[in-house]
Amino acid sequence: MEPKRNLILDAKRSNAINIAMKKLPTPQTIKAAIMKMDATVIGREGIEKLLTMLPTEEEKVKIQEAQYANPDLPLGSAEQFLLTLASINELSSRLKLWVFKLDFDNLEKEIAEPLMDLKQGIELLKVNKTFKVILSTLRSVGNFLNGSHVKGFRLEYLSKVMEVKDTVHKHPLLYHICEMIIEKFPDSTDFFSEVGPVIRASKVDFDILSVNLQKLESDCKASWDHMKRVAKHDSSQIFKTKINEFLTDAAQRIILLSVIKKRVMSRFGKLLLRFGVPPSDIAKTKPSEFLKVIAEFALEYRTTRERVQQQMEKRANHRERNKTRGKMIIDVGNYSNKNGDHTADHALKELLKTDPDTDSLTEGRRKSQASTNRMLVNGDLSADDEIIESLVRSATSKRRTAPRERRRNRMSDKKNWNRTLDGHQSWPRRESSPGSTAEIQQR
């Protein structure tokens, strides 16, 4: 039988604390880890659970009164856990300060990396040669098609390049742009592989980034207040020094992030002016929307460029095949004439010239042989024609020694009975058989 315990908390609260305690160390270990901010004992998730289980002032008073009223009666596990946490001075401030210390590096990285990508993307778009070639070619083609002369165009038009198609082959305008750039500027790249920062920055919502930066700044200010509360009750000089150094460094980094953000956004505004965006629309233009147009165009450009290159390679291979068509036979003939080694050919000719039985030839074959012999005598035939003529003469001179016999059906000797009109059976007449039907009936 379990010993009786002093239970003060309601069943729902007690069950929630008991379930959470199964994944946490003992209360005394937790207390020591909180005082030292030891992340090896309690991780980020453990601290979040402790923040949800903080004892209220009312619970703290009830537990202490119950303990004083019945000192011999042990407290329940949940009550004992809350009483141990309540013994830590400024528990909430310690935990919130600890959470900020653990999260600061990741929060700073989430803000700094997109700003760096945006900065690099702005510089890249200014100096990228392939992008300049694409824009200049597209402007020239647009001037030719529209019969006008403009100095530039809005970059939003890049999203419509795939929609404009020719009337003959139904290729998009970007297909012809790629052909022109490959022919005139063979050193140009696929553009997509060079705009990695632009692609990453196009996926970031910089409005949310600004909110996160403001939240980080407010959390840093709140952490200073938490440190002051903890310092009133904690006499450890090492703890004060470490926390003070951390918060000072964090504040400087946050200030630096704010300065970087302002400068990068200012550069982005200048980039918009460079690409023809009206000054009145700069404040309304979001970096993610503007860069997304360029990132999607870069992907379409790379895909179309690869397809154009494949088509050009196919056409080049086809032209090469047409140039070399029929040359191999001539080369082999020249090689055989230049080689001079006709030993095997001479042996074959001597073998084929052996005269078979000439009496078996028909009159037409004799005439063809006679005409061939006259041509050979005159020396008009080439070496190849002579070999072919010998093969034909050898093949046509053979004759079957025995006449071909027609096969007879092996079932033809069976007797076949046919019923006559009077109901009797008679043998069929077979003229080819040795005996007639009358002879068979007499027998």
pLDDT at residue 164, as a whole number: 78
Q: Rounded CA gap, 77 and 83, in Å?
A: 10
Write out the two tokens for 192: 């997509």
pLDDT at 220 over 70: yes
Q: Using alpha carbons only, how large is the chain's radius of gyration in Å?
A: 51
Residue 155: is it exposed, middle or buried by C-beta count within 10 angstroms (0-12/13-18/19+)?
middle
The residue among 157 and 289 whose pLDDT is bigger is 289
Tokens 């000192």 label which residue?
Answer: 71
**Mean pLDDT, residues 243-266 taken together:** 95
pLDDT at residue 417, as a whole number: 47
The residue among 143 and 99 whose pLDDT is bigger is 99
The residue among 394 and 311 whose pLDDT is bigger is 311
The residue among 187 and 329 whose pLDDT is bigger is 187
Tokens 């020694």 label which residue?
Answer: 401
Q: What pLDDT digit, counting tens, does each position of 422-442 carry?
A: 555 444 554 444 444 444 444
pLDDT at residue 384, as a whole number: 66
Q: What pLDDT digit, counting tens, does each position of 224-239 carry?
A: 999 988 888 876 777 7
**Mean pLDDT, residues 242-270 taken together:** 95
**Of the given ranges (69-73, 218-222, 406-410), which has the lowest mean pLDDT?**
406-410
Q: Which fold has domain 11-88?
A: Methane Monooxygenase Hydroxylase; Chain G, domain 1 (1.20.58)
The residue among 113 and 415 whose pLDDT is bigger is 113
CATH number assigned to the domain covering 110-292 = 1.20.58.2220
Given pLDDT bands bounded at 50, 70 and 90, which one contains residue 69?
confident
How many other CB atoms are there within 10 angstroms of residue 439's CB atom? 10
In the 8-state DSSP scheme, what is residue 419? E
The residue among 214 and 371 whose pLDDT is bigger is 214
Q: Rounded CA gap, 230 and 239, in Å?
A: 10
How many other CB atoms are there within 10 angstroms of residue 381's CB atom? 14
SS3 label, residue 330? helix
**Mean pLDDT, residues 59-65 taken together:** 86
**Of the given ranges (8-12, 179-183, 341-345, 368-372), which has the lowest mean pLDDT?**
368-372
Contact of 8 with 78, CB cutoff 8 Å: no
pLDDT at 365 over 70: no
pLDDT at 337 over 80: no
Domain edges within the chain: 11-88, 110-292
pLDDT at residue 353, as a whole number: 63
**Of the given ranges (17-21, 111-115, 199-203), which has the lowest mean pLDDT?**
17-21
Contact of 7 with 14, CB cutoff 8 Å: yes
How many other CB atoms are there within 10 angstroms of residue 98's CB atom? 23
- Which residues are bridge partners to 425 per DSSP? 419
Contact of 81 with 14, CB cutoff 8 Å: no
- Which residues are bridge partners to 75 per DSSP? 6
**Mean pLDDT, residues 3-23 taken together:** 81
Q: What pLDDT digit, counting tens, does each position of 382-427 carry?
A: 666 777 777 767 766 655 555 566 665 555 554 554 554 555 544 4
Give the number of C-alpha atoms closer than 13 A to the C-alpha of residue 232, restricted to the C-beta side. Answer: 9
Q: What is the mean pLDDT of the chain?
A: 79
pLDDT at 110 over 90: yes
Share of the chain above pLDDT 90, in %: 32
Output the CA angle 325-326-332, nearest 5 degrees.
Answer: 130
Given pLDDT bands bounded at 50, 70 and 90, which one contains residue 154?
confident
Check if 11-88 and 110-292 are the same fold. Answer: yes
The residue among 147 and 20 whose pLDDT is bigger is 20
Q: What pLDDT digit, counting tens, does each position of 348-359 carry?
A: 667 666 655 444
C-beta contacts of 369-373 below 8 A and 24+ residues apart: 369/393
**Of the given ranges (93-107, 129-143, 410-424), which has the lowest mean pLDDT?**
410-424
CA 322 distance to own-chain centroid: 36
Given pLDDT bands bounded at 50, 70 and 90, which one contains residue 1?
very low
Contact of 171 with 165, CB cutoff 8 Å: yes
Tokens 């991780």 label which residue?
Answer: 43
How many other CB atoms are there within 10 angstroms of residue 30's CB atom? 20
pLDDT at residue 271, as a whole number: 93
